[in-house]
Amino acid sequence: MKLDPNRRQFLKNATRTAAGVCGIGVILGLQQHQANAKEGVALRPPGALAEKDFLAACTRCGQCVQACPYDMLHLASLLSPMEAGTPYFVARDKPCEMCPDIPCMNACPSGALSEELTDINDARMGLAVLLDHETCLNWQGLRCDVCYRVCPLIDKAITLDRIHNDRTGIHAKLIPTVHSDACTGCGKCEQACVLEEAAIKVLPMDLAKGLLGRHYRLGWQEKQNAGKALLEEQHPDGLRPAFDARMPEGQVEPVYQHMKVQPDVKVATPNRATYDYVPNPTTVDAPEHYPNLDLNIKGVK
Amino acid sequence: MATVKTTPNKPKDAGLEARQKLGWWHAYRFLILRRLSQLSIILMFLSGPLWNVWILKGNYSSSMLFDVVPLTDPLITAESLATGYLPEWTTIVGALIIVAFYAVFASKAFCSWVCPMNIVTDAAAWLRRKLGIRQSAKLPRNLRYVILVMILLGSAVSGTLLWEWINPVAALGRVFVFGLGATLWLVAVVFLFDLLVVEHGWCGHLCPIGAAYGLIGAKSLIKINVVDRERCDRCMDCYNVCPEPQVLRLPLHGSESDSPIVLDKDCITCGRCIDVCPENVFAFGSRFEKQVQVKNI
């Protein structure tokens, strides 16, 4: 079949245009797919500069990925949650093993993983946050403690803080509490969380942290620092009648009790690292209260 | 003076005459050597991950040779500097080594002897010739330099390495070491673009890395020489096979005053013109008029 030149020209142009449009479409489609790349929260390797600086510094060479002895770093492709070619890890998948010699940082040729990180414990890859109180077993009053136990900085980065268990009225809840001054964001807690979906997750710092107003002062801390109350000991005379006037007939304003300054004592959970921790014996003594109690209720012969 | 052909050779027969006249090896030698060079560099990157023999760590963007010599892509370094970030000396030294090497060695030698994307675009150009796809959308050849400037300005304004989210050359380089992801699509887009939309579209019109190497190697020592214009019989094989055919016109068919050396900074020193010329018009040589005779294999 011989096509006439005009028709041939048209078909060629049409094919070319279609190919060009498809190409542009694929590229744009890839970008759209990026949002669907759900692998968990992507985190930068230890020593990474702040994200904006990191993106300006990282040469996308992947030498940190090759240097990691645990193969937990990935190099982003076009569909990864991070910019193509940059390194990241997903804590739930494989957390940072906290090598003391920081091979990934030392392999980095550009300083995107900063040489200023000399102690791996100073790394801030992110911050672990106990996100979901509704599923965390410790929040239910159970003793899971797994995130606390696996933390490389146990009792520093994660402590168990006691609160009252209102459900039973007689128990404590031991709440895993992360402290940002110690947490490196290695993600071992997130990986170890026993739930189907981790209740504790490592988030990038800017997502994880709130920020107090710079003018904000916490009264008890100021009191602690000053060693005394910073307010007037007495109600100013001018206000006294007003307080009394607000009280019901015949009653007076209760006398304001000043808060006592107490040293801020942290009570740590028993820790094998600090002293000889002897666990409670697990053998149970024979019951003594009802020595003759017959449990054969149904009278089985 | 060779008898000028009345009908030039067809693009799909580029190199056929040389093969018949001078033999198979002669017609393909530099192509084969270039593929060997490109593949051996890929192997140097791969030998570490595969067999724990670390020759080159990293990828084409930035690497370490034998754990000692840093090598960095000059464009990435320039982008990084444009954002206002001063990289560690390793990166800077790596870029200086690469710039010095390609500035002295040969015009755009990276493109033809190192770059993995060259294999893809050469394949597209070959298929284009074989399928007889002649028409091509027109793009200015200097668009790549505009893109290069745009990328550097854009990096300065945005504070990120603007080019790197889509850089198909770096992406293809990462494929070998870090596995194939969505990069395949990106490479396919470049291939189809070269095949169907613009002839030599990527390398010849768009690629800012090539543009950077073009500027770096503009005064490099090794250039293609036209040994003897008289021998040319205008079979057009070199024009058909050359990824930057505009660089051949002056040295080959220019006036008396035009140098018979391919001095254009866009020439990628691939040597395909030497391969396919049945009349032995071309040879590798230096950029100097009074040159030492270079013996070609």
Is the CB of A56 less than 8 angstroms away from the CB of B76? no
Q: Who contacts A59 (Cβ-Cβ below 8 Å, separation ≥6)?
A: A109, A110, A112, B61, B62, B72, B73, B76, B77, B80, B87, B91
The structure tokens listed for A210 are: 């709130």
Question: Is A33 at the interface with chain B, CB within 8 A?
Answer: yes
Q: Is B69 helix (H, G, I), strand (E, B) or coil?
A: strand
The DSSP result for A18-54, as a single string, is HHHHHHHHHHHHHHHHHTT--SS-EEPPTTBPPHHHH
Q: Pick B173 or A35 by higher pLDDT.
A: B173
For A69, the closest chain B residue by CA position comes to B49
Which pLDDT score, from 0 to 100, does residue A128 have?
92
Is the CB of A16 less than 8 angstroms away from the CB of B197? yes
Which pLDDT score, from 0 to 100, does residue B292 have?
44
Which pLDDT score, from 0 to 100, does residue A299 have?
66
Is the CB of A56 less than 8 angstroms away from the CB of B80? yes
Residue A125 to chain B, least CA–CA distance (Å): 20
Which pLDDT score, from 0 to 100, does residue A264 have?
61
B interface mutation test: which of A12, A60, A78 has the most B CBs within 10 A? A60
**Averaged pLDDT, groups of 10, chain B, 297 residues long:** 71 80 86 92 87 85 85 88 84 90 88 90 89 77 85 83 81 78 81 85 88 88 83 86 87 78 86 87 77 48
Q: Pick B11 or A108 by higher pLDDT.
A: A108
Averaging pLDDT over each range in A135-139, A260-264, A291-295, which range is the top one? A135-139
Q: Pick A156 or B286 by higher pLDDT.
A: A156
Which pLDDT score, from 0 to 100, does residue B13 have?
79
Which pLDDT score, from 0 to 100, does residue A36 have?
45
Q: Confidence band (pLDDT; 50, 70, 90) for A37?
A: very low
Quick one: DSSP state of residue B166? T
Q: Who contacts B68 (Cβ-Cβ below 8 Å, separation ≥6)?
A: none
Q: Confidence band (pLDDT; 50, 70, 90) for A193?
A: very high
Kindly report the number of other CB atoms within 10 A of residue A192's CB atom: 17
Which long-range contacts does A28-32 make (Cβ < 8 Å, 24+ apart)?
A30/A78, A30/A79, A30/B182, A30/B185, A30/B186
Which pLDDT score, from 0 to 100, does residue B33 have?
92
- Give the span between the Cα atoms of A23 and B190, in whole angstroms: 8
Per-residue CA distances from B138 to A19, A271, B50, B142 (Å)? 15, 74, 43, 12
Q: Say which amino acid occupies B283.
A: A
Asked whether the predicted pLDDT for residue A287 surpasses 70, the reply is no
Which pLDDT score, from 0 to 100, does residue A35 have?
46
Which pLDDT score, from 0 to 100, does residue A192 have?
92
Residues of chain A contacting residue B56, judged by C-beta atoms under 8 Å apart: none
Q: Say which amino acid occupies A207.
A: L
Q: Who contacts A145 (Cβ-Cβ below 8 Å, separation ≥6)?
A: A138, A160, A174, A176
Which pLDDT score, from 0 to 100, does residue A298 have?
64
Which pLDDT score, from 0 to 100, does residue B294 have?
47
Averaging pLDDT over each range in A28-42, A149-163, B58-72, which range is the top one? A149-163
Q: Confidence band (pLDDT; 50, 70, 90) for A242?
A: low
Choice among A177-191, A204-218, B105-119 with the minimum mean pLDDT: A204-218
Which pLDDT score, from 0 to 100, does residue A288 have?
62
**CA trace torsion A48, B185, B112, B199 (10° rounding):** -140
Residues of chain B contacting residue A107, judged by C-beta atoms under 8 Å apart: 57
Asked whether the predicted pLDDT for residue A256 surpasses 70, the reply is no
Please report where in the chains the tokens 């504070």 appear, as a residue: B159
Is the CB of B62 less than 8 angstroms away from the CB of A63? yes
Which pLDDT score, from 0 to 100, does residue A188 have?
92
Model pTM above 0.85: no
Choice among A15-19, A24-28, A61-65, B88-92 with the minimum mean pLDDT: A24-28
**CA trace torsion A182, A184, A189, A192 (10° rounding):** -140
Of A20, A27, A57, the CB nearest to B87: A57
The structure tokens listed for A42 are: 């992507």
Q: Confidence band (pLDDT; 50, 70, 90) for A255?
A: low
CB pairs under 8 A between A and B: 142
Choice among A206-210, A228-232, B119-123 with the minimum mean pLDDT: A228-232
Asked whether the predicted pLDDT for residue A289 surpasses 70, the reply is no
Residue B109 to chain A, least CA–CA distance (Å): 21
Q: Pick A246 or A113 by higher pLDDT.
A: A113
Residue B189 to chain A, least CA–CA distance (Å): 5
Q: Pick A301 or A41 by higher pLDDT.
A: A41
Q: Who contacts B293 (Cβ-Cβ below 8 Å, separation ≥6)?
A: none
Is the CB of B174 less than 8 angstroms away from the CB of A60? yes
Is the CB of A16 less than 8 angstroms away from the CB of B48? no
Question: Judging by beta carbons within 10 Å of its beta carbon (0-12, 13-18, 19+), is residue A202 exposed, middle or buried?
Answer: buried
